[in-house]
Amino acid sequence: MTQRRYWHVDKNDNGEQIMKKKARTLICIAVVLLCGICSVRGAEPLQFRELFNGKDLSGWVNVNTAKDTWSVRDDLLVCTGHPIGVMRTEKQYENFVMHIEWRHIEAGGNSGTFIWSEGTVPAGKRLPKGLEVQMLELDWVKLHKRKDGTLPPIAYVHGEVFGANGLKTIPDNPRGSRSKSIENRCKGKGQWNTYVVVAVDGVVKLSVNGKFVNGISKASVKKGYICLESEGAEIHFRNIKIMELPPGITSAENTAPIVTGK
Protein backbone atom coordinates (compact mmCIF):
# COMPACT_ATOMS: atom_id res chain seq x y z
CA MET A 1 0.00 0.00 0.00
CA THR A 2 1.31 3.38 -0.96
CA GLN A 3 1.89 5.52 2.10
CA ARG A 4 0.40 8.99 1.87
CA ARG A 5 2.07 11.91 3.55
CA TYR A 6 -0.02 14.61 5.12
CA TRP A 7 1.45 17.98 5.96
CA HIS A 8 0.00 19.97 8.81
CA VAL A 9 0.41 23.75 8.76
CA ASP A 10 -0.09 25.76 11.91
CA LYS A 11 -2.33 28.62 10.75
CA ASN A 12 -0.90 30.95 13.36
CA ASP A 13 2.73 30.31 12.40
CA ASN A 14 3.83 28.56 9.22
CA GLY A 15 0.57 29.31 7.45
CA GLU A 16 1.01 33.02 7.94
CA GLN A 17 4.61 32.86 6.75
CA ILE A 18 3.57 30.92 3.65
CA MET A 19 0.88 33.49 2.86
CA LYS A 20 3.39 36.31 3.22
CA LYS A 21 5.84 34.52 0.90
CA LYS A 22 3.06 33.98 -1.64
CA ALA A 23 2.10 37.65 -1.44
CA ARG A 24 5.69 38.73 -2.03
CA THR A 25 5.96 36.30 -4.95
CA LEU A 26 2.77 37.65 -6.51
CA ILE A 27 4.06 41.23 -6.17
CA CYS A 28 7.32 40.26 -7.90
CA ILE A 29 5.41 38.52 -10.68
CA ALA A 30 3.17 41.56 -11.13
CA VAL A 31 6.18 43.87 -11.46
CA VAL A 32 7.82 41.56 -14.00
CA LEU A 33 4.59 41.33 -16.00
CA LEU A 34 4.15 45.11 -15.98
CA CYS A 35 7.70 45.57 -17.25
CA GLY A 36 7.05 42.95 -19.92
CA ILE A 37 3.82 44.62 -21.01
CA CYS A 38 5.62 47.95 -21.33
CA SER A 39 8.26 46.34 -23.53
CA VAL A 40 5.75 44.49 -25.72
CA ARG A 41 3.66 47.61 -26.28
CA GLY A 42 6.68 49.67 -27.13
CA ALA A 43 6.34 51.88 -24.05
CA GLU A 44 9.34 53.00 -22.04
CA PRO A 45 10.33 50.61 -19.23
CA LEU A 46 9.41 51.61 -15.71
CA GLN A 47 12.10 53.84 -14.24
CA PHE A 48 12.57 56.82 -11.97
CA ARG A 49 12.96 60.30 -13.41
CA GLU A 50 13.75 63.56 -11.68
CA LEU A 51 11.01 65.89 -10.49
CA PHE A 52 13.69 68.33 -9.33
CA ASN A 53 16.81 68.67 -11.49
CA GLY A 54 19.01 70.29 -8.84
CA LYS A 55 19.60 73.36 -11.02
CA ASP A 56 16.36 75.32 -11.29
CA LEU A 57 12.60 75.12 -10.77
CA SER A 58 11.79 73.66 -14.19
CA GLY A 59 8.61 71.59 -14.07
CA TRP A 60 7.20 73.46 -11.05
CA VAL A 61 4.60 76.21 -10.77
CA ASN A 62 4.27 78.67 -7.89
CA VAL A 63 0.62 78.55 -6.81
CA ASN A 64 0.22 81.10 -4.01
CA THR A 65 3.60 81.90 -2.45
CA ALA A 66 6.11 84.72 -3.02
CA LYS A 67 8.70 84.81 -5.80
CA ASP A 68 11.51 84.24 -3.31
CA THR A 69 9.78 81.46 -1.33
CA TRP A 70 11.40 78.79 -3.50
CA SER A 71 14.98 78.77 -4.74
CA VAL A 72 17.84 76.45 -5.64
CA ARG A 73 21.04 76.54 -3.60
CA ASP A 74 23.92 74.03 -3.65
CA ASP A 75 21.80 71.51 -5.61
CA LEU A 76 19.04 71.77 -2.99
CA LEU A 77 15.47 73.00 -3.34
CA VAL A 78 15.14 75.59 -0.56
CA CYS A 79 11.84 76.83 0.86
CA THR A 80 11.82 79.84 3.20
CA GLY A 81 8.47 78.81 4.70
CA HIS A 82 6.92 82.23 4.05
CA PRO A 83 4.19 82.85 3.17
CA ILE A 84 2.13 79.73 3.75
CA GLY A 85 1.19 78.11 0.45
CA VAL A 86 2.36 75.60 -2.13
CA MET A 87 4.29 75.04 -5.34
CA ARG A 88 2.98 72.32 -7.67
CA THR A 89 4.12 70.17 -10.56
CA GLU A 90 3.19 71.26 -14.08
CA LYS A 91 1.44 67.96 -14.80
CA GLN A 92 -0.85 65.61 -12.93
CA TYR A 93 0.06 62.13 -11.71
CA GLU A 94 -2.09 59.11 -11.01
CA ASN A 95 -0.27 55.89 -10.08
CA PHE A 96 3.37 56.27 -9.08
CA VAL A 97 6.23 55.74 -6.68
CA MET A 98 7.82 58.97 -5.41
CA HIS A 99 11.15 59.28 -3.60
CA ILE A 100 11.72 62.54 -1.72
CA GLU A 101 14.35 63.62 0.81
CA TRP A 102 13.84 66.54 3.22
CA ARG A 103 15.32 68.23 6.26
CA HIS A 104 14.09 70.99 8.53
CA ILE A 105 16.43 73.81 9.48
CA GLU A 106 14.38 75.17 12.39
CA ALA A 107 13.19 73.41 15.53
CA GLY A 108 9.49 72.64 15.24
CA GLY A 109 9.41 73.33 11.49
CA ASN A 110 6.25 72.49 9.55
CA SER A 111 5.87 71.35 5.93
CA GLY A 112 4.67 68.48 3.80
CA THR A 113 3.99 67.21 0.33
CA PHE A 114 0.54 66.95 -1.26
CA ILE A 115 -0.34 64.29 -3.82
CA TRP A 116 -3.47 63.93 -5.97
CA SER A 117 -3.88 67.62 -5.26
CA GLU A 118 -5.81 70.38 -6.93
CA GLY A 119 -3.61 72.89 -8.72
CA THR A 120 -5.26 75.94 -7.16
CA VAL A 121 -6.18 76.95 -3.62
CA PRO A 122 -9.84 77.44 -2.56
CA ALA A 123 -10.97 80.96 -1.70
CA GLY A 124 -10.20 81.75 1.92
CA LYS A 125 -7.68 78.89 2.20
CA ARG A 126 -3.89 78.80 1.98
CA LEU A 127 -3.50 75.13 1.10
CA PRO A 128 -5.16 73.05 -1.66
CA LYS A 129 -7.52 70.11 -1.60
CA GLY A 130 -5.30 67.05 -1.72
CA LEU A 131 -3.72 64.21 0.21
CA GLU A 132 -1.08 65.57 2.57
CA VAL A 133 1.95 63.60 3.71
CA GLN A 134 3.09 65.45 6.81
CA MET A 135 6.68 66.64 7.40
CA LEU A 136 7.10 68.10 10.90
CA GLU A 137 10.33 68.60 12.83
CA LEU A 138 10.47 66.53 16.03
CA ASP A 139 10.28 69.52 18.39
CA TRP A 140 6.94 70.59 16.94
CA VAL A 141 5.02 68.78 19.67
CA LYS A 142 7.10 70.46 22.40
CA LEU A 143 6.42 73.90 20.97
CA HIS A 144 2.68 73.35 20.54
CA LYS A 145 1.39 72.10 23.88
CA ARG A 146 -2.31 71.66 24.42
CA LYS A 147 -4.26 74.10 26.56
CA ASP A 148 -3.96 71.72 29.52
CA GLY A 149 -0.15 71.67 29.14
CA THR A 150 0.11 68.15 27.74
CA LEU A 151 2.01 67.37 24.55
CA PRO A 152 0.32 66.37 21.29
CA PRO A 153 1.06 62.78 20.19
CA ILE A 154 4.44 62.22 18.55
CA ALA A 155 2.44 60.67 15.70
CA TYR A 156 2.03 64.19 14.35
CA VAL A 157 5.62 64.47 13.23
CA HIS A 158 6.65 61.28 11.52
CA GLY A 159 4.48 60.97 8.48
CA GLU A 160 0.81 61.47 9.19
CA VAL A 161 -1.24 61.01 6.02
CA PHE A 162 -4.62 62.68 5.62
CA GLY A 163 -7.04 64.29 3.22
CA ALA A 164 -7.02 68.09 3.32
CA ASN A 165 -9.79 70.52 2.39
CA GLY A 166 -12.36 67.91 1.45
CA LEU A 167 -10.41 64.93 0.12
CA LYS A 168 -11.73 61.81 1.85
CA THR A 169 -9.80 58.65 2.76
CA ILE A 170 -9.93 55.59 4.99
CA PRO A 171 -6.89 55.71 7.33
CA ASP A 172 -4.85 52.57 7.99
CA ASN A 173 -4.05 53.72 11.53
CA PRO A 174 -6.84 56.12 12.50
CA ARG A 175 -6.32 59.22 14.58
CA GLY A 176 -9.69 60.71 13.82
CA SER A 177 -9.81 61.13 10.03
CA ARG A 178 -6.01 61.08 9.82
CA SER A 179 -3.68 58.11 9.62
CA LYS A 180 -0.76 58.08 12.05
CA SER A 181 2.51 56.21 11.62
CA ILE A 182 2.90 53.10 13.75
CA GLU A 183 6.59 53.76 14.42
CA ASN A 184 8.52 57.00 14.90
CA ARG A 185 11.36 56.95 12.37
CA CYS A 186 11.89 60.66 11.60
CA LYS A 187 15.16 62.45 12.35
CA GLY A 188 15.39 65.92 13.83
CA LYS A 189 16.57 69.36 12.79
CA GLY A 190 19.38 69.43 10.24
CA GLN A 191 19.16 65.71 9.45
CA TRP A 192 17.87 64.25 6.18
CA ASN A 193 14.72 62.15 6.08
CA THR A 194 13.65 59.95 3.18
CA TYR A 195 10.04 59.31 2.24
CA VAL A 196 8.94 56.78 -0.36
CA VAL A 197 5.32 57.32 -1.33
CA VAL A 198 3.59 54.51 -3.24
CA ALA A 199 0.29 55.72 -4.69
CA VAL A 200 -1.90 53.30 -6.66
CA ASP A 201 -5.63 53.47 -7.39
CA GLY A 202 -6.62 55.46 -4.31
CA VAL A 203 -4.27 53.58 -1.99
CA VAL A 204 -1.14 55.18 -0.50
CA LYS A 205 1.64 53.54 1.48
CA LEU A 206 4.38 55.61 3.11
CA SER A 207 7.90 54.48 3.93
CA VAL A 208 9.83 56.63 6.42
CA ASN A 209 13.61 56.18 6.40
CA GLY A 210 13.49 52.66 5.05
CA LYS A 211 10.34 51.14 6.54
CA PHE A 212 6.65 51.27 5.57
CA VAL A 213 4.79 52.65 8.59
CA ASN A 214 1.60 54.31 7.37
CA GLY A 215 -1.04 54.48 4.67
CA ILE A 216 -4.59 55.18 3.57
CA SER A 217 -7.09 53.67 1.13
CA LYS A 218 -10.15 54.64 -0.89
CA ALA A 219 -9.04 58.23 -1.54
CA SER A 220 -11.89 60.19 -3.10
CA VAL A 221 -9.38 61.72 -5.56
CA LYS A 222 -6.67 59.55 -7.10
CA LYS A 223 -5.19 61.70 -9.85
CA GLY A 224 -3.85 65.22 -9.49
CA TYR A 225 -0.83 67.44 -8.93
CA ILE A 226 2.08 66.95 -6.56
CA CYS A 227 2.74 69.95 -4.31
CA LEU A 228 5.45 71.02 -1.90
CA GLU A 229 4.30 73.00 1.10
CA SER A 230 5.60 76.24 2.60
CA GLU A 231 4.33 76.52 6.16
CA GLY A 232 6.29 78.91 8.31
CA ALA A 233 9.78 77.42 8.52
CA GLU A 234 12.77 76.88 6.24
CA ILE A 235 12.97 73.39 4.79
CA HIS A 236 15.26 71.81 2.19
CA PHE A 237 14.43 69.14 -0.38
CA ARG A 238 16.60 66.97 -2.62
CA ASN A 239 16.50 63.83 -4.75
CA ILE A 240 12.83 64.19 -5.68
CA LYS A 241 12.15 61.40 -8.17
CA ILE A 242 9.06 59.70 -9.53
CA MET A 243 8.32 56.40 -11.26
CA GLU A 244 5.01 56.55 -13.09
CA LEU A 245 3.03 53.31 -13.09
CA PRO A 246 0.32 52.21 -15.53
CA PRO A 247 -2.96 54.13 -15.15
CA GLY A 248 -6.13 52.69 -13.71
CA ILE A 249 -9.80 53.35 -14.38
CA THR A 250 -10.17 56.86 -13.01
CA SER A 251 -13.30 58.92 -13.57
CA ALA A 252 -13.51 62.69 -13.83
CA GLU A 253 -14.98 62.66 -10.33
CA ASN A 254 -11.78 61.06 -9.03
CA THR A 255 -9.52 63.51 -10.87
CA ALA A 256 -8.42 66.96 -9.74
CA PRO A 257 -9.43 69.78 -12.15
CA ILE A 258 -6.80 70.51 -14.77
CA VAL A 259 -5.27 73.97 -14.46
CA THR A 260 -4.75 75.60 -17.84
CA GLY A 261 -1.72 77.84 -18.25
CA LYS A 262 0.57 78.76 -15.38
Confidence at residue 158, expressed as pLDDT on a 0 to 100 scale: 85
Confidence at residue 72, expressed as pLDDT on a 0 to 100 scale: 98
Beta strand residue intervals within the chain, DSSP E: 49-50, 60-62, 70-73, 76-79, 85-89, 96-104, 110-117, 130-136, 161-164, 170-171, 174-175, 178-179, 193-200, 203-208, 211-217, 225-230, 235-244
Point out the residues of the chain with pLDDT beneath 70.
1-43, 261-262
Confidence at residue 32, expressed as pLDDT on a 0 to 100 scale: 47
Confidence at residue 42, expressed as pLDDT on a 0 to 100 scale: 54
Confidence at residue 226, expressed as pLDDT on a 0 to 100 scale: 98
Q: Was domain 49-247 assigned CATH 1.10.10.60?
A: no
Confidence at residue 26, expressed as pLDDT on a 0 to 100 scale: 44
Domain extent listing, the chain = 8-45, 49-247
